[in-house]
Amino acid sequence: MRVETISSQDAYSYYAKMTGLSSKTVGRCVSELVRADILWIAVEGEKRILKTAKPGVRKHLLFVGLGKLLVEELSRANDT
């Protein structure tokens, strides 16, 4: 995890080992988080965001939209 950018450049195989999931499942989960605008895939050294991870491209995974999601959930909880 890079503290300056709040990003991670670890391989999906590392996340798989940490979570006990397969690398393929981790890839699908990353794709779902990207579609939900909770995670961005940024190309290292460029100002470019990818819709899907590309093999051989050094990338960083950035958590975005998480604050918005938490505010929405807290708002819903307070409404009930």
pLDDT single digits (tens) 40-70: 888 888 888 888 888 788 888 888 866 677 7
Average pLDDT, the chain: 82
Question: Looking at residue 62, what is its pLDDT?
Answer: 83
Question: Looking at residue 7, what is its pLDDT?
Answer: 61
| pTM strictly above 0.85 | no
pLDDT in tens, 15-43: 899 999 998 999 999 999 999 888 888 88
Q: Which domains does the chain have, with CATH numbers?
A: 7-79 (1.10.10)
27-62 in b/e form (b: 16+ CB < 10 A) is beebeebbeeeebbbbeeeeeeeeeeeeeeeebbbb
